[in-house]
A and B are shown apart, each in its own frame.
Chain A
Amino acid sequence: MNGWAELDRFLRTDTRDVGCAQAMEMLHVYAELVAAGAPAEQRYPGIAAHLRACGPCGEDFEGLLAALRDDAY
């Protein structure tokens, strides 16, 4: 039954999570590292934890990453 795992995943919090303000402050740096294939998650574990848990910041990250990977950019 996947529901138990999904509820558990949602309620589980990560003490490394830096929150939205700090993630947004550094999002451009983090996204460039990811786009370059650098170990962004190791360098910024708190941002990585936040982007996994925060829907809006995760969406912004995906959008910025998509822009970086867009040929037109």
Chain B
Amino acid sequence: MVGMVPADPGVGGTPAAARLDRESAEWLRGLGEVGPQREAALARLHELLVRIARGEVARRAPRLRISGPELDDLACQAAADALLAITGKLGQFRGESRFTTWACKFVIFEVSAKIGRHFWRHPSVPLDAEDWDRLPGHFGFDPAYQAEWRELFAALRRAVDTELTPRQREVFVAIVLNNVPLDTLVLSLASSRNAIYKMLFDARRKLRAALAANGYLRDDSSRRS
């Protein structure tokens, strides 16, 4: 958990076994068989995963520097890896959703991971570059009003240097200054999405508190967004 309150009801717990819908039960039965019936179920599932992966990379394509056959390869690899993940986790399916929704979640995750890996292999900027001049533009500050926000960013930079741990600073610089995808940083730092997000979460909280303490932002850190 990142925040300070208990998790949502049902999150992370062991809910009572849900009643399976007919289609989900058929999927589980087919994948639990041996021989041709299992092969047929696997082929159907793979076909579904490829279709979902292709749709997902197409949805994300306008924001990526990948296209054509390379993008389709990425989708096919994501589907193949998701199929492996799903067959290895069948016992973890609790029937809280349709089986296909649960299965499609894994192919979406695989697409994210593969895109992160692609950026890691082909970075557009060094992960540790520090171009502070880009930061105001990143948040949409108008250069014409630089006199009004110059001090704010000087204070923000000071807070980054003095309030954050070295690891939090590294994560902040990579993600916020350099626009490195979080999933790429996961690979670069041999970490997890949850751990990197937690570091950025704590960094955001510290930086906001520092800016509020110095009068640059409203001091209502306890307010929920």
Residue contact A73 to B100, C-beta cutoff 8 Å: yes
Contact partners of B34 in chain A: CB under 8 A: none
Contact partners of B56 in chain A: CB under 8 A: 63, 66-67
Q: Closest approach, in angstroms, between the C-beta of B225 and any C-beta of chain A?
A: 5
Once the chains are docked, how many angstroms separate the CA of A52 from the CA of B225? 9
A/B pair count, beta carbons within 8 Å: 177
* B59 at interface, CB cutoff 8 A: yes
Name the prevailing secondary structure of the A interface residues: helix
Which listed residue, B8, B52, B149, B183, touches A73 by the CB 8 Å rule?
Answer: B52
Once the chains are docked, how many angstroms separate the CA of A46 from the CA of B125? 34
Q: Closest approach, in angstroms, between the C-beta of B150 and any C-beta of chain A?
A: 12
Residue contact B218 to A8, C-beta cutoff 8 Å: yes
Which listed residue, A1, A8, A53, A55, touches B217 by the CB 8 Å rule?
Answer: A8
Question: Looking at the complex, which of B35-43, B65-73, B139-147 is the stretch in contact with chain A?
Answer: B139-147
Contact partners of B98 in chain A: CB under 8 A: 32
Residue contact A11 to B52, C-beta cutoff 8 Å: no
